């Protein structure tokens, strides 16, 4: 009987963890709420505004993503103990088919003086294949 109760409790916990996990095709930042602009069976479009001094939190990216800097700014990206600072100009567009560098856990922050406005477009077919 104790084993049955233990198994039931573990299944309940596992289900709740699964149910609360973010959609694998959505970009998820622990510290920055995003706006879901559009979602259909082909893609997900999300918009994020990162204020000066804000850090997104440790995250990774799904494959097949395009980003658009609506309003660019200065970023610092940390991979473990290594940090790189760069400037992304307004209008910059990038594509990462495999999310090679971005699939690793990392954290990014707005280290400039102005808000950064960013749109992520994730293609669902590639994202779903990458999460199987």
Specify the DSSP class assigned to residue 129. H
Range of the domain at 107: 25-130
For 44-85, write each residue's pLDDT tens digit: 999 999 999 999 998 888 778 888 999 999 999 888 888 999
pLDDT at 16: 39
- Tell me whether residue 65 is exposed, middle or buried, using C-beta atoms within 10 angstroms of its C-beta: 0 to 12, 13 to 18, 19 or more: buried
Domain membership of residue 116 (yes or no) is yes
User: In whole angstroms, what separates CA 75 from the centre of its chain?
Assistant: 15
pLDDT at 71: 94
Domain membership of residue 16 (yes or no) is no
Domain membership of residue 20 (yes or no) is no
For residue 12, what are its two tokens? 């309940």
Domain membership of residue 2 (yes or no) is no
> How many domains does one find in the chain?
1
* Alpha helix positions (H), the chain: 2-20, 124-130
Asked whether residue 35 carries a pLDDT value surpassing 80, the answer given is: yes
Domain membership of residue 42 (yes or no) is yes
Indicate which CATH number applies to the domain containing 45: 2.60.120.10
Domain membership of residue 37 (yes or no) is yes
For residue 84, what are its two tokens? 């790189």
- Distance between CA 64 and CA 124 in Å, rounded? 8
Residue 51 CB contacts under 8 Å (≥ 6 apart), including other chains: 110, 115
Domain membership of residue 36 (yes or no) is yes
């Amino acid at each position: 009987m104790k084993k049955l109760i233990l198994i039931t409790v573990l299944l309940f916990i596992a289900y709740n963890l699964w149910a609360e996990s973010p959609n694998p095709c959505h970009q998820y930042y622990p510290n920055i709420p995003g706006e879901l602009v559009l979602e259909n069976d082909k893609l997900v479009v999300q918009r994020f505004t990162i204020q000066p001094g804000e850090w997104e939190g440790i995250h990774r990216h799904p494959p097949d993503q395009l980003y658009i800097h609506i309003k660019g700014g200065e970023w610092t990206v940390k991979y473990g103990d290594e940090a790189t600072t760069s400037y992304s100009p307004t209008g910059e567009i990038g594509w990462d088919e495999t999310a090679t560098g971005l699939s690793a856990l990392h954290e990014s922050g707005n280290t400039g003086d102005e808000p950064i406005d960013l749109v992520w477009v994730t293609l669902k077919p590639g994202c779903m294949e990458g999460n199987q």
